[in-house]
Structure 1
Amino acid sequence: MAKEQDVYAQNRELIERAQKGDEQAAAKLVELNGGLVRSIAIRFRDRGTEIEDLIQIGMIGMIKAVNSFDTSRGTAFSTYAVPLIIGEIRRHLRDAGIIKVSRSYKKLGMTLMRERSRILSDEGREPHISELASACGVSPEDAAVALDAMTPVSSLSDSVFGDDGVLLENTIADDENDIERLSDNIALSQSISKMQPLWRRIVLLRYYRNLTQQQTADCLGLSQVKVSREEKKILDFLRSEMIN
């Protein structure tokens, strides 16, 4: 635990310096987190691209994470960086026309999604990716790759909660610039996990179970007007989270 806290503190200090233009700090971050990028890149081997090339592409995602990471939020840098690193590699493979999801990752993705659905149903909350990974006996990196493989790359038709949910483009994005800055479903799930319990229950009932506002209100003992107001706050919160 102490070692993890030391790494967290060191990353935070270096990120703050790198964001101010300190090139030595940026180089040190690459050195410290190179293993994370490599561990993710290895999971995309045998896709027609050399592993060292995948690592370099993954580094682009890590640099983007450094530039956009908010040190005030208390989130571990690795948690924030993983989706960006995966996204960068998958975009490269997609653009090269060689993206291919292995059967093992598809199977793991389905297992993770079932566990996610169970937690949503039983506890009314969105589980963190590390929690899903632990429950399924895999690393967070493997879980992230498997979950990411379940959805199209940067698709604006991605649903907030799978096929039964609302589309990202119909809820969060206000204009083309906002759309371009939307994160993938993993980041969205992390944003949902930050919500207060009432908001998570509303999201579960409205966008996962497809209940109307009135049905949701009846389940929660609220008025339809109250649900409508809270839903607007939820979408404003998600918009802010995903854009910032």
Structure 2
Amino acid sequence: MIKKVTICGIDTSTLPKLTHDEATKLLQQIKQGDDFARNKFVLCNMRLVLSIVQRYSNKTNNIDDLFQVGCLGLLKAVDNFNTDYNLRFSTYAVPMIIGEIRRFLREGNSLHVSRSVRDMAFLALQTRERLEYDSDKQATMDDIAKELGQPVEVVKNALDAISEPVSLFEPVFCDDSDSMLVMDQIDDKKNTDERWLENISLCQAIKTLGEREKQILHKRYYEGKTQMEISAEVGISQAQVSRLEKNAMTQMREMMTTV
């Protein structure tokens, strides 16, 4: 991680940090309409924006633009955060910052994938996960297309159009005491605060898994590998990979229904 970065004229190494108590106090003041507290809180959280921007720095020639867009996401998070959620602010803010950055990158790319194709790809990925969980075997393209009621070529072309791996368990932010995984999702009207909280519950559920289960889920849904490929890499049978994956998914579902 870069320790000193000058971006948008700001030396980020000089940005102040907040303790948990200080952050809580400022959030309470912001809720009461204190603009000074809001400005201070935003300034102290610009490191959070920087940590996310660095992940996308190879996708644009203007890192300053990316930082400013990320700060817009930070401002939205500050203005919409509800202290009654009983969550870390960073847990709530990261998805909003990422959303603004990804929207900016999509709109700035003349060759970007259309909304309908992107949504079809996400639906196909979600359908594959559900079919494989239910049947305990690898879903084929025909299986996915049949379940979606779409021609195989439509589904295949949608998946091929995704320019980078889609992660359900991608690490997006780490600080001194915590790390966070965010489940990618279709960008639609269902992305309410309730949906964000559901995804946060998923993040917490993932943290309860053992290292082997996390490794398998990462390879399966981030790297897009088959159970047979994972079996060869990890050194266990395909049946064991399938069982571990299914157990991990079951454990997460149970955890999410109890939180």
TM-score by length of 2: 0.43
Which structure has the larger Rg over C-alpha atoms? 2
